[in-house]
Structure 1
Amino acid sequence: MTSSAPQFLYGTAWKEDRTAECVSLALKAGFRGIDTANQRKHYNEVGVGEALQKAYSDGLVKRDDLFLQTKFTYQRGQDHRLPYDPTAPLAKQVQQSLASSLEHLDTEYVDSFVLHGPASGYEWTADDDAVWNAMRAEREKGRTRVIGVSNVSLGHLQQMADTPAFVQNRCYAQLGWDREIRTFCREHGIVYQGFSLLTANVPVLRHPLVQEIAGHMKAGIAQVTFAFARQIGMLPLTGTTSFEHMQQDLSSLALTLPQEAVEAIESLAG
């Protein structure tokens, strides 16, 4: 079972008390994909739900118009505000985390449920298997359409017994825009979601070549970056808090770079 994602996702991390306001602006700008996590340390999922309720009541969108993605985060990635009983088995923690997310978002299902990073930075562990199997069970119950992973290495993906629908990684130009992972995803029919495309790559995006491409296309650096990401097979995320920048980011969907420009940007740093 697949869940069709839009071409752009709005990321809700690090917005704290502005979360509801920012998600409302994103929906008004035209975003229909919202990425969040049940990790109060970095996300305010309740705020996302408040914005969704307002959008529904205002008639701006219906639930079926939206792609909602949330995440399960291990205790080591949380602060004291846990969405589950830390003494419970991992499978129960997954169940409790998703149940809490569904309540926050006031929905019977999410479109995508993502493991917010494996237990180890070096290998796929027995704990990850337990969590993944619990996530599969949630998919079978219909509480999520698909399941995915985030913050993974190639080794993690190669060790997984199952193929995720999505991989979401911070995307560094210095690593060839995460070329190894993107290649694996393309070969296995996995959708690659890239985040921090702007903030993680400031030196590259200031390169005269990128500036020249932007000038030639009569577009901003962010628009060129997101168009480039899409053209190399990526589903990009943006987390801007500016309504104007939200509109500009979405306008990148109408921008197509010449192939030589795509190749030039891809080769800038690895």
Structure 2
Amino acid sequence: MASLASTPALVAPMAFKNHPETKIPKMVYGTAWKKDRSTDLVYQAIKSGFRAIDTAAQPRHYNEKGVAEGIAKAISEGILTREDLYIQTKFTPPSGQDPNNLPYDLSHPIPQQIQTSIASSLSNFTFPGQEEPYIDCLVLHSPYRNIEDTLLAWRTFEPYVPSKIRSLGISNTTLPILQSLVSSTNIPPSVCQNRFYPDTRYEVPLRSCCREQGIIFQSFWTLTGNPGLVKSKPVMEMAERLRGKREVDGDDRALALYSLVLGLEGVSVLNGTTNQERMMRDLLTLEAVGELVQGEWKELWDGWLRDFKVVIGEK
């Protein structure tokens, strides 16, 4: 991978507005639904070049402990240090949990549920030789049914920042809830993680708010949720050009789609591939694309990105 100083803008890590010392890579490895494979896949992802990992304290869909074990293995082998890695986990409210497998006691009030969950996550992400465990970003996995409980949960998060938790985020949210978190809390979100697909109209107004507030929008379901978008004119045209480049090797349409989504300002993408060859290929190819769009593809790229914005309804 290229050094940070020489990394093309398309794939360069982004600093959080409220926490500039925290930087998030454009491509984040997603660990949902990997179960017993989590340890090995996270280790392989790190070995392939991923430097950001997304997980959750939600045994229903994630194996947070297994994710941490994969990270620990990579650290123990000297592949990277804890400081080289962006780790993001989530607190999941009861509505998103398996009632038979919870990281906290349902009978406890919301603040105590959160404190128990965070303590468990910090314990998982304690690595040998590390003085104090910390999490780069804690995400509220989904809002509560009412804004009062959502704000209560957020205010329970805040005292952990910046020592135990560097920054905060929200997932599966609406624009009004995001605006409430921005206006009604002491520590506003640094991250908003939502689906990028037709049913949400690609979150155009919400992403506009994120740009205005300096919030990083994390796109998920980017590939699997967009079979139609993969066939759109700008994606197909870019994919055709990719096929003609020897240094580019992979799923041309997927890589073109990832590139165009990353070309939207202030966006990172979750990539949950379980194919070890594709892990490295995706990262290296996106870096090559980043160099191309700053050089010989500059005019083509401007046209593709303009057309892509039209397709997703972003003026």
Instruction: Place the TM-score, normalised by the shorter chain, in its bin.
Output: over 0.9
> How has the CA–CA distance of structure 1 residues 92 and 174 changed in structure 2, closer, same or farther, with 3 Å as cutoff?
closer
Comparing 249-258 with 179-188, greater Cα deviation is found at 249-258
> Where has structure 1 moved over 3 Å in runs of 4 or more?
173-176
Aligned to 2:196: 171
Q: Secondary structure at the match of 2:111?
A: helix
* Contact 1:175-1:269 within 8 A present in 2 as well: no
RMSD: 1.6
1:268 matched to 2:311? The reply is yes
Displacement after TM superposition at 1:209 (Å): 4.2
Aligned to 1:188: 213
1:105 matched to 2:125? The reply is yes
- Percent identity over paired residues: 37
Displacement after TM superposition at 1:166 (Å): 0.7
Displacement after TM superposition at 1:105 (Å): 2.3
Q: Secondary structure at the match of 1:110?
A: coil
Aligned to 1:253: 287
For residue 173 of structure 2, the aligned residue among 137, 152, 170 is: 152
* Contact 1:95-1:138 within 8 A present in 2 as well: no
Displacement after TM superposition at 1:253 (Å): 3.2
* Contact 2:220-2:269 within 8 A present in 1 as well: yes
* Contact 1:222-1:249 within 8 A present in 2 as well: no
Displacement after TM superposition at 1:243 (Å): 1.3
Q: Deviations over 1:160-201 (max 9, x none)?
A: 213211101011146442211110000111111111100110
Q: What one-letter code is carried by the residue in structure 1 that aligns with 2:212?
A: E
Q: Secondary structure at the match of 2:167?
A: strand
Displacement after TM superposition at 1:212 (Å): 2.2
TM-score after normalising by structure 2 = 0.80
Q: Secondary structure at the match of 2:87?
A: strand
Q: Determine the C-alpha separation between the residues in 2 that align with 1:147 and 1:72.
A: 11
* Contact 2:217-2:268 within 8 A present in 1 as well: yes
* Contact 1:176-1:267 within 8 A present in 2 as well: no
Give the structure with higher Rg (CA): 2
Displacement after TM superposition at 1:49 (Å): 1.1
1:65-144 alignment to 2 at 5 Å?
65-79=84-98, 80-106=100-126, 108-120=133-145, 125-140=147-162, 142-144=163-165
Displacement after TM superposition at 1:115 (Å): 0.3
Q: Determine the C-alpha separation between the residues in 1 that align with 2:199 and 2:111.
A: 37
Q: Secondary structure at the match of 2:169?
A: strand
Q: Secondary structure at the match of 2:303?
A: helix
Displacement after TM superposition at 1:208 (Å): 4.8
For residue 224 of structure 2, the aligned residue among 192, 199, 215 is: 199
1:35-46 alignment to 2 at 5 Å?
35-46=54-65
Aligned to 1:64: 83
Q: Deviations over 1:106-142 (max 9, x none)?
A: 251100000001012xxx51111110001101215x1
* Contact 2:234-2:305 within 8 A present in 1 as well: no
Displacement after TM superposition at 1:59 (Å): 0.9
> How has the CA–CA distance of structure 1 residues 32 and 259 changed in structure 2, closer, same or farther, with 3 Å as cutoff?
same
* Contact 2:125-2:134 within 8 A present in 1 as well: no
Displacement after TM superposition at 1:240 (Å): 0.5
* Contact 2:89-2:135 within 8 A present in 1 as well: yes
For residue 66 of structure 2, the aligned residue among 47, 53, 73 is: 47
Aligned to 2:272: 239
Q: Secondary structure at the match of 2:108?
A: coil
List alignment gaps of at least 5 residues for structure 1.
none
Q: Secondary structure at the match of 2:61?
A: coil
Aligned to 2:44: 25
Q: Secondary structure at the match of 2:65?
A: helix
Q: Deviations over 1:220-248 (max 9, x none)?
A: 11211121121102111100001122122
List alignment gaps of at least 5 residues for structure 2.
1-17, 128-132, 294-300
Aligned to 2:23: 4
Aligned to 2:260: 228
